[in-house]
Amino acid sequence: MDSNYHFPSYLRDSPLDKCNKNTCSGITLPTHWNPNDCGSRIVIIDEKKLIVKHTGPGTDLIEAVSIRANHHIPPEVGLYYFEMTIINRGDRGFIGIGLSKPGTPLDRMPGWGTGTIGYHGDNGRLYNERERGVNFGPLYTTGETVGCGINFFDNEIFFTKNGILLGKMLLFNLEKKIYPTCGMASPNECVLVNFGTDPFIFSIDHYAKKIFSKSEKCK
């Protein structure tokens, strides 16, 4: 593994950090949004490819679109987490954070369809491979930060808002690669993602220590 490669602080005691360098040599974490893996109404507006915006049709029409990160989440890390700050809720605040498998349609929000899951800001509902979600957490809007994590040890996904853990649930089938995903559905919605290069609002370091400690005891 390249010694200069950046790993978020919470992964310092992860299985990935402790494993043999030869084993880890081909592992890469998500670092930015992928401009070639997104819906037609989403544009990346910064050089680091961390800020995305919904261009919208300029009418009252709702056009749901999603974008995936440039790399899938390697299961070898054991635990993965990212956050998304709402720069602008846009016209309607139809913004979602979640995960999706490669090849899932990007003309819809995270959670709408097989192989994807998402927590939506306009209604606080959690969508797990279907367009009718369940009540899950509070709404979120401009200036707020939501997070999404996956625990590979227990096959769970969890979400946060403004540094508070909202809840977790068993994840869908993990047979395929999984990517961090963001969705939007109305004009001027804009978000900034943090894949770990900056400090997180949620205390993921403390959370990770408990997860890794538990996994060691179970061996």
- Distance between the two ends of the chain, CA-based, in angstroms? 25
Q: Is the pLDDT of residue 125 over 50?
A: yes
Query: How far is the C-alpha of 166 from the C-alpha of 162, rounded, in Å?
Result: 10
Q: Please state, for a pLDDT cut of 70, what percent of the chain lies above it.
A: 84
pLDDT classification of 4: cutoffs 50, 70, 90:
very low
CATH number belonging to domain 29-198: 2.60.120.920
For residue 176, give the 3-state DSSP assignment.
Answer: coil
Domain boundaries, the chain: 29-198
Residue 192 has pLDDT above 70, yes or no: yes
- Of residues 61 and 148, more confidently modeled: 148
In tens, the pLDDT along 80-120 reads 999 999 999 998 999 999 999 998 999 999 999 888 999 99
List phi, psi (to 5°) of 145.
Answer: -125, 130
Tokens linked to 48 = 């680091």
